[in-house]
């Protein structure tokens, strides 16, 4: 089974590329982030024509997550159980479902904005709730993964220049500690295995020629339990999909499972 995660940065803007990529890549399950649409606006009909069911949690604006699958889509849960509110609202940042033999979460972790901003505290609380919510599945025997845009670079090697991020979010000790706490639930980072690039970044800002200069970050992650990681045959960042007109600023992250 081929499973992937991709922050599309507006599914409406990216739809032609998304449909073409699903066909060419042979992906069975795709976790989508930043749909930037309502559930009614989500292109479920276009995806259904390709054989994919959709589970969507979205309200428009800047968030929204989805799982699309052609190997089954059962036991859908929208939202993060026990998750915090931000400015009085529960944002649509998580959706989970069982797809064939695996259970997966598509997550869009809050950005954090600035270390002194309320959004940064919200990010840490959100990650704490995520760790608690996935504990049972992470410890289970069924293949399980939490996939998506974590908005955290796990190590200094996951950013193009550590000096460029000094004092900024995405690389702080508390954020990385939150990832460590998630791993302690029985999850591990399964990408890259093996490396296809010296620096397999997943995100490059649109500005300042960041992609041509490879000034990127690895913030789109796949965290799997023992049953999931034990089934991994290959994993890679599809850097080619970041190229060309109309690309998202994120690249898909792909994992092949022997299941």
Binding residues: 7, 34, 149, 151, 249-250
- Residue among 137, 170, 203, 250 flagged as catalytic: 250
- Residue among 137, 149, 189, 238 flagged as catalytic: 149
Q: What is the C-alpha separation between 157 and 200, in angstroms, rounded?
A: 10
Asked if 236 and 196 count as a contact pair (C-beta separation under 8 A), the reply is yes
Among all chains, which residue has been given the structure tokens 């490879």?
A: 214
Let me know if 141 is a catalytic residue: no
Let me know if 117 is a catalytic residue: no
Contacts of 106 (CB under 8 A, 6+ apart): 5, 31, 32, 33, 65, 66, 67, 94, 95, 96, 147, 148
Edge-first strand listing for the sheet containing 220-224:
74-78, 94-99, 102-108, 144-149, 220-224, 188-189
Among all chains, which residue has been given the structure tokens 């990832």?
A: 179
The CB density around residue 164, as the number of other CB atoms within 10 Å, is 11
What residues are designated binding site for Mg(2+)? 7, 34, 149, 151, 249-250
Asked if 248 and 35 count as a contact pair (C-beta separation under 8 A), the reply is no
Let me know if 108 is a catalytic residue: yes
- Residue among 52, 108, 203, 236 flagged as catalytic: 108
Burial class (CB in 10 A: 0-12, 13-18, 19+), 49: exposed
Report how far apart, in Å, the C-alpha atoms of 201 and of each of 69, 98, 159, 211 are.
25, 28, 8, 10
Closest CA to 86 of 137, 123, 54, 34: 123
What positions carry a catalytic annotation?
108, 149, 250
């Amino acid at each position: 089974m081929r499973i992937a995660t991709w922050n599309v940065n507006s599914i409406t803007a990216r739809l032609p590329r998304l449909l073409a990529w699903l066909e060419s890549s042979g992906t069975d399950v795709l976790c989508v982030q930043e749909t930037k649409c309502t559930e009614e606006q989500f292109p479920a009909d276009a995806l259904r024509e390709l054989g994919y069911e959709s589970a969507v949690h979205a309200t428009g604006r800047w968030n929204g997550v989805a799982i699309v699958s052609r190997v089954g889509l059962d036991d859908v849960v929208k939202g993060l159980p026990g998750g915090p509110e931000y400015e009085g609202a529960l944002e649509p940042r998580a959706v989970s479902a069982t797809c064939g033999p695996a259970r997966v979460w598509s997550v869009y972790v809050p950005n954090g904005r600035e270390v002194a901003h309320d959004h940064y505290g919200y990010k840490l609380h959100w990650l704490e709730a995520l760790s608690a919510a996935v504990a049972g599945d992470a410890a289970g025997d069924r293949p399980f993964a939490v996939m998506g845009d974590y908005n955290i670079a796990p190590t200094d090697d996951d950013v193009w220049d550590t000096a460029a991020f000094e004092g900024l979010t995405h690389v702080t000790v508390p954020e990385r500690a939150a990832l460590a706490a998630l791993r302690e639930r029985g999850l591990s980072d399964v990408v890259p295995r093996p490396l296809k690039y010296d620096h397999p970044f997943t995100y490059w800002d649109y500005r300042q020629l960041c992609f041509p200069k490879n000034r990127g970050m690895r913030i789109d992650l796949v965290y799997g339990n023992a049953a999931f990681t034990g089934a991994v045959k290959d994993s890679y960042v599809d850097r080619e999909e970041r190229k060309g007109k109309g690309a998202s600023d994120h690249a898909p992250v792909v994992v092949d499972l022997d299941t």
